[in-house]
Amino acid sequence: MGSTSAENHGTEGVGRRDLIKRSAALGLISVPTMSFLSACASSGGDDSGDKAKAGKKTAKNPLAVNDTAGMEFVLFDGGFGKEYAEDAVKIYEKNFPEATVKFSATQKIQSTLQPRFNQGTPPDLIDNSGAEQMDMGVLVGKNQLTDLTPLLDAPSYDDPDKKVRDTLRPGIVEMGQFDGEKVWILYYAYTVYGVWYSQKALASLDEQYPETWDQMLAVCAKAKKKGMAGWTYAGKYPYYLPFSLYPMIGKVGGREVLDAIDNLEPNAWKHPAVKACFDAYYELYKKGYVLKGTPGLDHIQSQTAWAEGKALFIPNGSWVENESANVIPEDFDLAVSAPTGLDSSDKMPFGTIWASGGEPFIVPAKAKNAPGGMEQLRIMLSEASSKNFTGKVKSLTAYDGGTDGVALTPGLKSGVAALDKAGENVVNPRLQDWYVQLQKEKIGVSGLGEMMAGRLTPAEAIKKIQGFADEAAKDDSIKHYKHQ
């Protein structure tokens, strides 16, 4: 079921936290330095300076967890629920029977945990997600997080010959990096972004999913004759458009075009591949292939219209299956595809898709039992825990596998097939993590939204968006990140 506010997307639906998770207010959150506050006692009254002594490093305990030390885990209580985490905690308790685990779940991550960061008494593991997510850039910038490299270099839970990092899906490690090699965040869920549609509706037009833009326009023309729009999207939140537009830009011009955009390079948006893709999308508007009234629809309204068969295609992420479960007909045959390209001159093959992590887990720098927090994540990244998550919440995890023997829903099955088809051709634009306001309000609403509503030409939209990017690049008040 969907929530009614775009800012609340972290609390319902699957894996969207990377885009709309931070409300404008969250951009204002800062974490005070730890000087005089670090001496404050925690609410439990125990000595906040006590870090658990290291345990004995063994094959079964590669992170040298102290087997009698307490471990505290705070989970975001959202669309994934808490059962998958509770199940993983039971494994931790079984492995360390003398340790006491304190597990809790809340939707109010920031208001619950910010004071504890300020006091120097944070939990050992946090799922930092939802509308009240703490700002990652601030936490990293203020040295509030533990580098997770020891976890990534530890033997995986299932196979001692494989490191944890070797069992993860493409892009997961890189997503946790902000500056340099250190990894501050482990994204546990895995989201497939792309163009979602009903296989049944496409078959009723006697069509296959279009691989070139000429084919896309032909399919939309056929749909229009049958009284169905080719496309709809979240018009009020047009930062959904990049879910298919950005990977299309990468497909047409190569990964380096997306990297240049992420790096806020001068004229990055003026690349011919960007212009070609903007022109292609604008053509959908010009030819009347976008559902009438789309610019006024929110995410739930656009998804409902699409589920009712009023439009064939919608750009979205894999949470849409869960979020629209109450409106998608049983025989809908939900499917996702990588974005349609322009033609055979594209730099990357058809199948190039955007997929990346969601559900960011962190271990605070001042955690009393950081090895325990990392060990809990190592357990969660086992095949059994991954399968448990996928079976319960209809979403993939960062673990590369874990779907054998799990009854996959149509959308999830299609997402797995799309990832298989993509192979190494998975792109992961970072703009939405690094520059939230630029991505949402400026590029999304003021740029793409205005263009798709017909109020800006592609050339005008590009000029405007490049101006926004240049402003952000010159703004010293925001931390700038670059692809390494």
Could you say which DSSP state residue 53 is in?
P
- Can you tell me the distance from the alpha carbon of 370 to that of 366, in angstroms, rounded to the nearest whole number? 8
Please give the average per-residue pLDDT across 129-152, as a whole number. Answer: 88
Is 117 found in the same domain as 168? yes
The dihedral built from the CA positions of residue 205, 210, 216 and 218, taken in this order, carries a sign that is negative
Please give the average per-residue pLDDT across 387-394, as a whole number. Answer: 89
If we measure between CA atoms, which residue out of 394, 370, 397, 374 comes closest to residue 386? 397
Least confident of 85-89, 300-304, 390-394: 390-394
The pLDDT, as a whole number, for residue 468 is 97
Model confidence at 43, pLDDT cuts 50, 70, 90, reads very low
Is 15 found in the same domain as 155? yes
Residue 373 lies in a domain: yes
The pLDDT, as a whole number, for residue 17 is 37
| Neighbouring C-beta atoms of residue 159, cutoff 10 Å | 12
The yes-or-no verdict on residue 408 having pLDDT over 60 is yes
Please give the average per-residue pLDDT across 349-357, as a whole number. Answer: 95
Q: Which element (helix H / strand E) includes 118?
A: helix 109-119
Is 315 found in the same domain as 198? yes
The pLDDT, as a whole number, for residue 135 is 80
The pLDDT, as a whole number, for residue 134 is 86
Least confident of 48-52, 57-61, 446-450: 48-52
| Neighbouring C-beta atoms of residue 461, cutoff 10 Å | 25
pTM (two decimals): 0.78
Residue 1 lies in a domain: no
Long-range contacts at 212-217 (CB < 8 A, ≥ 24 apart)? 212/340, 212/341, 212/342, 212/343, 212/344, 213/280, 213/283, 213/340, 213/341, 213/342, 213/343, 214/343, 215/340, 216/280, 216/340, 217/283, 217/287, 217/289
Q: At what angle do helices 272-286 and 242-253 cross, to 10 degrees?
A: 130
The yes-or-no verdict on residue 44 having pLDDT over 80 is no
If we measure between CA atoms, which residue out of 184, 152, 129 comes closest to residue 481? 184
Residue 152 lies in a domain: yes
Q: Which element (helix H / strand E) includes 277?
A: helix 272-286
Pairing verdict, β 125-127 and 229-231: unpaired
Is 77 found in the same domain as 145? yes
Is 317 found in the same domain as 205? yes
The yes-or-no verdict on residue 482 having pLDDT over 60 is yes
Percent of the chain beyond pLDDT 70?
90
Please give the average per-residue pLDDT across 70-85, as a whole number. Answer: 91
Q: Which element (helix H / strand E) includes 249?
A: helix 242-253
Is 204 found in the same domain as 136? no
The pLDDT, as a whole number, for residue 49 is 53
Is 227 found in the same domain as 172? no
If we measure between CA atoms, which residue out of 416, 420, 398, 418 comes closest to residue 407? 416
The dihedral built from the CA positions of residue 369, 373, 376 and 382, taken in this order, carries a sign that is negative
Please give the average per-residue pLDDT across 285-289, as a whole number. Answer: 98
Q: Cβ neighbours of residue 5 under 8 Å, at least 6 residues apart? A: none
Q: Which of 10-24, 172-186, 294-308, 398-412 has the highest mean pLDDT?
A: 294-308
Tallying the residues shown for the chain, one arrives at 484
Is 181 found in the same domain as 202? no
If we measure between CA atoms, which residue out of 60, 139, 147, 37 comes closest to residue 373? 147
451: domain CATH number is 3.40.190.10
Is 438 found in the same domain as 386? no
Written as six digits, the tokens of 415 are: 């997402």
Half-sphere exposure of 132 (CA within 13 A, CB side): 14
Written as six digits, the tokens of 77 are: 């209580």
Residue 421 lies in a domain: no
pLDDT digits (tens, 9 = 90+) for 143-182: 999 999 999 999 999 999 999 999 999 889 989 988 778 9
The yes-or-no verdict on residue 205 having pLDDT over 80 is yes
Model confidence at 319, pLDDT cuts 50, 70, 90, reads confident
Please give the average per-residue pLDDT across 29-48, as a whole number. Answer: 32
The pLDDT, as a whole number, for residue 323 is 83
Residue 483 lies in a domain: no
Residue 481 lies in a domain: no
Residue 282 lies in a domain: yes
Q: Cβ neighbours of residue 97 under 8 Å, at least 6 residues apart? A: none
- Can you tell me the distance from the alpha carbon of 100 to that of 471, in angstroms, rounded to the nearest whole number? 50
The pLDDT, as a whole number, for residue 67 is 95
Q: Are 308 and 405 in contact (CB under 8 A)?
A: no
Is 391 found in the same domain as 317? no
- Can you tell me the distance from the alpha carbon of 23 to that of 132, in angstroms, rounded to the nearest whole number? 8
The yes-or-no verdict on residue 9 having pLDDT over 60 is no
Mean pLDDT of the chain: 88
Pairing verdict, β 334-337 and 229-231: unpaired
Please give the average per-residue pLDDT across 110-127, as a whole number. Answer: 95
Q: Are 264 and 480 in contact (CB under 8 A)?
A: yes
Q: Which element (helix H / strand E) includes 112?
A: helix 109-119
Please give the average per-residue pLDDT across 231-260, as a whole number. Answer: 97
Model confidence at 213, pLDDT cuts 50, 70, 90, reads very high
Q: Enumerate the β-bridge partners of residue 185.
A: none
Model confidence at 358, pLDDT cuts 50, 70, 90, reads confident
| Neighbouring C-beta atoms of residue 323, cutoff 10 Å | 24
Least confident of 351-355, 409-413, 438-442, 450-454: 438-442
Residue 422 lies in a domain: no
- Say which amino acid occupies 237: Y
Please give the average per-residue pLDDT across 300-322, as a whole number. Answer: 94
Is 200 found in the same domain as 179? no
DSSP per-residue letters across 13-52: SSSTHHHH-B-GGGGG--PPPSTGGGGSPPTT-S-TT-PP
Q: Enumerate the β-bridge partners of residue 101.
A: 71
Q: Which element (helix H / strand E) includes 114?
A: helix 109-119
Task: Give the total number of structural domains in the chain.
Answer: 2
Model confidence at 22, pLDDT cuts 50, 70, 90, reads very low
Domain extent for 436: 192-355+429-474
The pLDDT, as a whole number, for residue 8 is 35
Is 201 found in the same domain as 177? no
- Can you tell me the distance from the alpha carbon of 193 to that of 356, in angstroms, rounded to the nearest whole number? 8
The pLDDT, as a whole number, for residue 483 is 84
The yes-or-no verdict on residue 140 having pLDDT over 60 is yes
The pLDDT, as a whole number, for residue 31 is 32
Model confidence at 50, pLDDT cuts 50, 70, 90, reads confident
